[in-house]
Amino acid sequence: MNPDVEVLRTQVLSDDWYTLRKVTFRQRGPDGDWSTQSREAYDRGNGAALLLYHPGRKSVVLTRQFRLPTYLNGNPDGMLVEACAGLLDGEAPETASRREAEEETGYRIGTVTKVFEAYMSPGSVTEILHFFTAPYEDSDRISAGGGTDAGERIEVMELPFTEALAWVADGQIRDGKTILLLQHAALAGLIQAGAPRRPGRTP
């Protein structure tokens, strides 16, 4: 642990959906003096995100669903285009990524490749997100997807990789994890760019 940080007290502010804590701590600066601060930290567990890509078709599978926090902060319809993702819920990150892919998109994926992990909002949220990629084939699809939780309305989308990158550039894709995965795919050369076509939706 960091010898320059000492947690003084922790107060649970909310434990309804996930856990919001107020933490008071003191931190030693370069001059040796200690300062006391309080911060709130939201603990929702860690998660996994997976980008499904088809090298031959030069396409990716994404989802589209309503996200209330974005609706409350300027997203006109609250809809967000995303890579499939979810909380680990006690599973290994690789297992959770495959589970989320099957539940949300209907694709049952075997081997996944971990590309990195990142804190997505380190100023207020404790979550570490594990990022994965995996190729898919039409034969991997075993259901329509759409999620399993009550109230979930997840639209499954297959679109050209070049179109997905264009959506990042013009603001149609504004989800951080999805942007990171698409940029990784471009930098790593997972999908060779081809001529864009109009995006389609999986049946």
Question: What's the CA gap between 7 and 26, in Å, rounded?
Answer: 7
Do 24 and 111 have their domain in common? no
Mind listing the pLDDT tens digit for each residue in 136-190? 999 999 999 888 775 678 999 999 999 999 999 999 999 999 999 999 999 999 9
- Domain-located, residue 36: yes
Is residue 84 helix, strand or coil? strand
Mean pLDDT across the chain: 92
What is the residue range of 71's domain? Answer: 47-188
Q: Which pLDDT tens digit goes with each residue over 68-89?
A: 999 999 999 999 999 999 999 9
What is the arithmetic mean of pLDDT over 109-117?
95
70 & 24 share domain: no
Beta bridge partners of 119: 128
Domain shared by 10 and 59, yes or no:
no
Which three-class secondary structure string do you get for 107-119? ECCCCCEEEEEEE
Distances (CA, A) of 59 to 153, 184, 185, 201: 23, 15, 11, 11
Tokens of 95: 């297992």
54, 33: one domain: no
Structure tokens that stand for 78 in this block: 């609250």
**Number of domains the chain contains:** 2
The reply to whether 15 and 93 lie within a common domain is no
Tell me, yes or no, whether 203 lies in a domain.
no
| Same domain membership, residue 138 and residue 54 | yes
Q: What are phi and psi of 65, to 5 degrees?
A: -155, 165
Q: For residue 200, tell me if it sits in a domain.
A: no
Claim to verify: residue 57 and residue 155 sit in the same structural domain: yes
Q: What is the CATH number of the domain that holds 132?
A: 3.90.79.10
Which 3 state secondary structure label does DSSP give 180?
A: helix
Strand intervals (E) in 29-145: 34-43, 47-54, 59-66, 79-82, 84-87, 113-119, 128-135
Residue 20 lies in a domain: yes
Q: Are residues 19 and 79 in the same domain?
A: no
Question: Could you tell me if 32 and 89 lie in one domain?
Answer: no
- In the chain, the percentage of residues whose pLDDT exceeds 70 is 93
User: In the numeric block, which tokens belong to residue 43?
Assistant: 């603990």
> Which pair of structure tokens corresponds to residue 4?
């320059």
Q: Residue 49 in 3-state DSSP?
A: strand
Residues 76 and 37 in one domain: no
- Specify the pLDDT at position 152: 74
Q: Is residue 35 domain-shared with residue 57, that is, in the same domain?
A: no
My answer on whether 10 and 100 are in the same domain is no
The model's pTM: 0.90
> Does 60 map to a domain?
yes
DSSP 122: T
pLDDT band at 197 (very low <50, low <70, confident <90, very high): very low
Instruction: Read off the pLDDT band of 196 (50, 70, 90).
Output: very low
d(CA 41, CA 10): 10
> Is residue 113 in some structural domain?
yes
Say what the pLDDT of residue 39 is. 97
